[in-house]
Structure 1
Amino acid sequence: MPTFLAPDQVTLHYDTRGAGRTRVLLAGGAARHPEYLGDLAGLSGHHVIPHQRGVGHSPGPGLPYWDLASDVEALRTHLGLSHLTIVAHSAGTRLAMAYAARYPDQISAMLLITPPSAHLVDAESDIEELRAARRGDPVFDDALAAMVAGPDLTDDEAFTAWHLASAPVTYAAWTAVEQEHARVGRQHLAAARAFFDGEPPADLAERLSAVRAPVRIVGGAQDCTTGVAPVAALADLFPAGEVVVLEECGHYPWVEQPELFREVAEEFLYRV
């Protein structure tokens, strides 16, 4: 497995997949093993997938996502790239935006998949409305109850088990496909805690206006974790921001609507 040196000389690991133009893939979780990304529905390109501190083969302790941006910059230098094309999912989009805010001139494009956005925009959340449309389904109701009850913070296994119990809330449907995907990717509790430790700059939203590169945001019309309205509003923070919302889709578009997701992602990435 290839490695690179972080600014503090810690050796961090990354995976590679595919050939063509290099894209850095940032997993969410906030500290889920990136194997859950799979091949992103066959998305083309040379994918570089870092294991953030405390996840997978990279040692801990973890760091707040604002500080993890320095690791992404070290990876860019290691790869010999003048600019980065970043594809990020969920909590990984927080890291992507932290990197973009700190290094706006190093971004060539960003594809942000189902980004949590309520902390950055004024749009009223529609999560409760989306959840209300699903209530009455016993599987969804049980999963929502587990999610609302909060995680078991005993250890990685308990934390992972809680994510799995909550998983039906995060998909628009709960078929064998979604169930299989939900079981992939161990959660790393200490790294997840560190990821959200501290606060990013209060002017983070304003800093994103300095990102001149194209940004496409992909949302799910039935995403009961991020909602739709805040995700759509996030595009307005970027001078070249745009949003695409996929129907019959929750938090994992490449799993739930693979052909549509691949079409939307490929069109954007090739255009930019």
Structure 2
Amino acid sequence: MPTFSAPDGTLLAYRVTGDGDPVICVPGGPADSAYLGDLGSLSAHRRLIVPDLRGTGRSAVPEDTASYRCDRLVEDVEALREHLGLPRVDLLAHSAGANIATQYAARYPERVHKLALIGPGVRAVGIPIAGATRRELARLRADEPWFPAAFAALEAITEGTGGDWEAVAPFLSGRWDAAARAHQAAARPGNQEAVALFAADGAFTPEPTRAALAACGAPVLLLTGEFDLNSPPVAVAEFAKAFRDATLAIQPGAGHYPWLDDATHFVTTTESFLAA
């Protein structure tokens, strides 16, 4: 895998898949970027440049582990842009990675051509997601055979009484089949220190971030799944209001990984936005 140097000297890896105009794809987690795959064959239309966040995948562990904090990861994205020699970037980000991409757009609005946020985390702009919202969305899956155990775990988690995160996993997929189970295992973060420090104090400054986004005129796609408990449609719709030029897309029947649930729908929506 090719590498580049972060501003603090940490050596970071990235992979390139497909042909066409480049899109930097920021993974969530923080997890090994391998779980993104080729984003449902979006690589048939675009050259996907997918970095491993520091301390994950083939990227090095930094000397200063405080640099795992979300706002500090923004400079790694900027270093990748400079390394690639791109005056402006199309930036796609999934899940927690959307918090990095959103802060990048706030800090470097002139560097962003288009921004696609997929199943986005919303902490960068301070949108709360109530437990009741997640439970209401979860009840749409009440006919699924795994629902009773998964819903009981979800209730325990949202009420702060414990709960088994593994038991909740079926809610993240539109179809909880063998492929979804394998993918969920691959998407599980391996560097727990990076996960713990990602949202450390100072990682998110919602009010300044929202104010700075007013200077970003780049078109933004916010796409989430109909059943996505991590990024409920109502929260993503609220997120869209933070941008000057936002398109909201709710993918029917999809969970947190819409390119797995219906690759054709996902690629058509995303590529149409990028190509416009």
TM-score of the aligned structures, taking structure 1 as reference length: 0.87
Q: Across the two proteins, how many residue pairs are aligned to each other?
A: 259
Q: Displacement of 1:269 after TM fit?
A: 0.8
- Between the aligned partners of 2:233 and 2:181, the Cα distance in structure 1 is 23
Counterpart of 1:248 (choices 242, 250, 253) is 253
Out of 110, 120, 125, the residue aligned to residue 120 of structure 1 is: 125
The 2-side partners of 1:118 and 1:97 are apart by 10
The corresponding residue for 2:193 is 190
Output one character per residue of 1:32-56: Cα deviation in whole Å (capped at 9) or x when no partner. Answer: 1111111111102111111111111
The one-letter amino acid paired with 1:250 is G
1: CA distance, partners of 2:109 / 2:49: 20
1:47 matches 2:14: no
> Who is 2:83 aligned against?
78
Aligned to 1:131: 138
Q: Percent identity?
A: 34
Given that residues 97 and 121 in structure 2 are in contact (C-alpha distance below 8 angstroms), is that contact kept between their aligned partners in structure 1?
no
- Structure 1 residue identity aligned to 2:8: D
**Structure 1 position 206, deviation (Å):** 2.3
2:216 aligned with 1:216: no
TM-score normalised to the size of structure 2? 0.86
Question: C-alpha distance in 2, partners of 1:149/1:10?
Answer: 39
Tell me the alpha carbon deviations over residues 8-46 of structure 1, each in whole angstroms, 9 at most, x when there is no partner: 1111111111111111001112x1111111111110211
Structure 2 unaligned blocks of 5 or more:
158-163
| Counterpart in the other structure of 2:32 | 33
Three-state SS of the structure 1 residue aligned to 2:186 is coil
Q: Which has the larger displacement, 116-125 or 69-78?
A: 116-125
Q: How does 1:164-183 map to 2 (within 5 A)?
A: 164-183=166-185
Is 1:227 matched up with 2:232? yes
Q: Distance in 2 between matches of 1:54 and 1:148?
A: 32
Q: Write the deviation string for residues 119-143 of structure 1: whole angstroms up to 9, x where unpaired.
A: 6366875322112233464523323
Q: Per the alignment, in what secondary structure is the counterpart of residue 16 of structure 1? A: strand
Amino acid at match of 1:196: A
Q: Which runs of 5+ in 1 are unaligned?
A: 151-161
Task: Output the amino acid matched with 1:58.
Answer: S
Q: Secondary structure at the match of 1:133?
A: helix
Distance 1:139 1:128 in 2: 15
Residues 122 and 73 of structure 1: CA distance in aligned 2, closer, same or farther (over 3 Å): closer
Structure 2 counterpart of 1:141: 148
- Corresponding letter in the other structure for 1:267: S
Residue 202 of structure 1 deviates from its aligned partner by 3.9
Deviations 1:88-115 (A, max 9, x none): 1111101110111111110000110011
The alpha carbon displacement at 1:86 in A equals 0.6
Which whole-Å deviations, capped at 9, do the CAs of 1:165-196 have from their partners, x for residues lacking one?
43202123312332232222341211111211
